[in-house]
Structure 1
Amino acid sequence: MKLDMGAAWNEAMALLSANFGVIATVVGLFYFLPQFAIALLAPEMSQTATTDLPPDASPEMMMEALNATFQEAYADSWPYLLLTVIFGYVGALAVLALLRRGGNPTVGEALKAGALGSPSYFATQVLFAIAAGLVIGLPVALLATVAPVAAALLALVLVVALVYAAFKLMLIPAVIGIEGTLNPFAVIARSWRLTKGNTLRIFVFLILLFVVITIITIIVTLVFTLVFAAMGDAVARIGNGFVGALANAATGAIYLTVLAAIHRQLSGGGSEVAETFE
């Protein structure tokens, strides 16, 4: 089956509209609140790094200084980041579980499904990272010892292959959240089969989606940043954190419903819109 991008978008918006209340609740709890908490409790994570460098500093010195600054910020804020990742996993799978066709789970059941599926989701990411390291890191490192130029070319080719594989596995959260599959290897295999023949379409669809969302987010953020800046530093920090967290939550809601719509279409789930779960 070939992915119909227009039909997938229409169904995603229909799913979002029909289930807006429950999706907003879950996304608000697991996307908005953690991001807003980071903006308030660890503002250094969202601030531009500043370093004291001489005017004639070389690009290498600037990169080293920026790297050290960011490492210090992450070292202080890693607990918040870890919680954000965990909450993001649970929230994403819970939203997708809410969109199960014919299952009619309650919000509580969806959250339970999200919590139970998160270790599997994490395991698939670890497996992908290990595979990427073996496929890219090891060959490139070995080749670099004898032919640096060839190693650079090989790295470029393998990165393209890695991006291809990443889009082949885009439906991993949908397989876990909607289908309830928990075996990481079975999840990876299922996503690979579902996306067969549609990888390029999924790539184009999601890239276009994120370009549009990014442009809208930048415009809205700039407008609110100017408004908040005129009200003082404290208001600007809180206001910008609120807008950033809200934009992240909205992006997450749209992305997850699009993912659910793609999964429905490629798995032969039809186009009927799920009703709101209460």
Structure 2
Amino acid sequence: MAKRKLDMGKAWTQTTGLIGANRDTISALAGLFFFLPSFAAGLLAPEMINPPPPETPAGGDPQAAMQAMMDQMTAVYADNWPLFLIITIAGFVGSMSLLALLSDRGNPTVGEALNKGLRSIPSYIAAQLLSALAAGLAIGLPFGLIAAFTPPAITVLATLVLIILMVYLIIKFSLIAPVVAIDEVRNPFSAIARSWRLTKGNSLRILLFLLLLLITIAIIGGLVAAVLTLVLSAFGGAVASIGSGLVNALVNTVVSVIFLVVIAAIHRQLAGASPERLAETFE
């Protein structure tokens, strides 16, 4: 069978169509699992959402500055790990439930999508851990050996090559979530293999599509957030704090939903119609 080629225009049309057709159920899932946890984090631990700038080390050493930033972020998440865990679990449930909602096998309700999403989480986590392990072996091990036994110039060149490899692996594993949630592939090894097959011959197209989408959303979202935050800051005090949390939560929710629906649209285009939908077509 000939491999399908990703049509970026069609993928975006499908994305907007899926959002429009499932607006109410998407809103319910996104509000519960993305907006509310993000808003709670903005109120209870604002440093997680908008971390303060780290102190600049004496001498302006870039490596020391990077280490200071990492230490600060580690401290923030260590102090707020229960909240971070809740947000992470909510994100897993919301993401898998939303993807299950976008299956072309009928029109599941919010409850049905939530049930499928919950059942798919163990397989999804297992597949992600396995793919992370594979990426670590393919990238981390060679990098460690190169850094230990080669001159700095070769290490820099190898780092660039390994970054390209890392991006490639991210794209190859990008359809694991819809494969598990939509195709209901529960074997993590099979889910990884199917994502790899579906993206074959389309890795560059998927990368370009996601990059263009990311840049567009970053520009629009940044402008909207900046304007609203500026307006709210004029009120000062609690109003500005709550308003900033609302804006950040809303932007994060919209971005999360768009990317999930885009991934679902890419999966739908590359995987083709399900047997159930094909059967309906010829009835």
TM-score after normalising by structure 1: 0.91
Q: What's the offset of the Cα at 1:53?
A: 5.7
Whether 1:39 aligns to 2:39 is no
CA shift digits 1:66-115 (9 cap, x unpaired): 33322211111122222212111111111111111133322111111111
Q: What's the offset of the Cα at 1:208?
A: 0.5
**Equivalent position amino acid for 2:200 in 1:** K
CA–CA separation in structure 2 for the residues paired with 1:63 and 1:99 = 40
Q: What's the offset of the Cα at 1:169?
A: 1.5
Shift of the 240–138 alpha-carbon distance from structure 1 to 2, 3 Å rule, reads same
Which residue number in structure 2 is paired with residue 209 of structure 1? 213
**Equivalent position amino acid for 1:80 in 2:** L
| Contact 2:131/2:192, CA 8 A, preserved across alignment | no
Counterparts of residues 67-86 of structure 1 (less than 5 Å): 67-86=70-89
Shift of the 130–50 alpha-carbon distance from structure 1 to 2, 3 Å rule, reads same
| Contact 1:24/1:253, CA 8 A, preserved across alignment | no
Which residue number in structure 1 is paired with residue 280 of structure 2? none
Shift of the 139–232 alpha-carbon distance from structure 1 to 2, 3 Å rule, reads same
Which residue number in structure 1 is paired with residue 245 of structure 2? 241
Q: What's the offset of the Cα at 1:178?
A: 0.9
Counterparts of residues 5-84 of structure 1 (less than 5 Å): 5-50=8-53, 58-84=61-87
Which residue number in structure 1 is paired with residue 254 of structure 2? 250
CA shift digits 1:218-254 (9 cap, x unpaired): 0001101111111113222211111111111111221
Which residue number in structure 2 is paired with residue 161 of structure 1? 165
Stretches of structure 1 that go unaligned for 5 or more consecutive residues are: 273-278
Q: What's the offset of the Cα at 1:155?
A: 2.6
Matching residue within 89, 92, 112 for 2:115: 112
**Residue aligned with 1:11, SS:** helix
| Contact 1:141/1:151, CA 8 A, preserved across alignment | no
**Equivalent position amino acid for 1:159 in 2:** I
Which residue number in structure 2 is paired with residue 139 of structure 1? 142
Could you tell me the percent identity over the aligned residues? 49
| Contact 1:194/1:267, CA 8 A, preserved across alignment | yes
Shift of the 168–58 alpha-carbon distance from structure 1 to 2, 3 Å rule, reads closer
**Equivalent position amino acid for 1:96 in 2:** L
Q: Which moved more, 1:142-151 or 1:110-119?
A: 142-151
Whether 1:101 aligns to 2:138 is no
CA shift digits 1:172-191 (9 cap, x unpaired): 11111111111111101111
RMSD of the alignment, in Å?
1.9
CA–CA separation in structure 2 for the residues paired with 1:148 and 1:161 = 21
| Contact 1:49/1:70, CA 8 A, preserved across alignment | no
**Equivalent position amino acid for 1:69 in 2:** Q
CA–CA separation in structure 2 for the residues paired with 1:95 and 1:8 = 17
TM-score after normalising by structure 2: 0.89
> Relative contact order (alpha carbons < 8 A, sep ≥ 6): 1 or 2 greater?
1
CA–CA separation in structure 2 for the residues paired with 1:90 and 1:100 = 16
Whether 1:267 aligns to 2:271 is yes
Q: What's the offset of the Cα at 1:56?
A: 5.3
Shift of the 100–236 alpha-carbon distance from structure 1 to 2, 3 Å rule, reads same
CA shift digits 1:10-55 (9 cap, x unpaired): 1110111011000010011111111111001111212332455677
The number of aligned residues is 271
CA–CA separation in structure 1 for the residues paired with 2:12 and 2:181 = 20
CA–CA separation in structure 1 for the residues paired with 2:206 and 2:104 = 21
Q: Which moved more, 1:66-75 or 1:223-232?
A: 66-75
Q: What's the offset of the Cα at 1:120?
A: 1.5
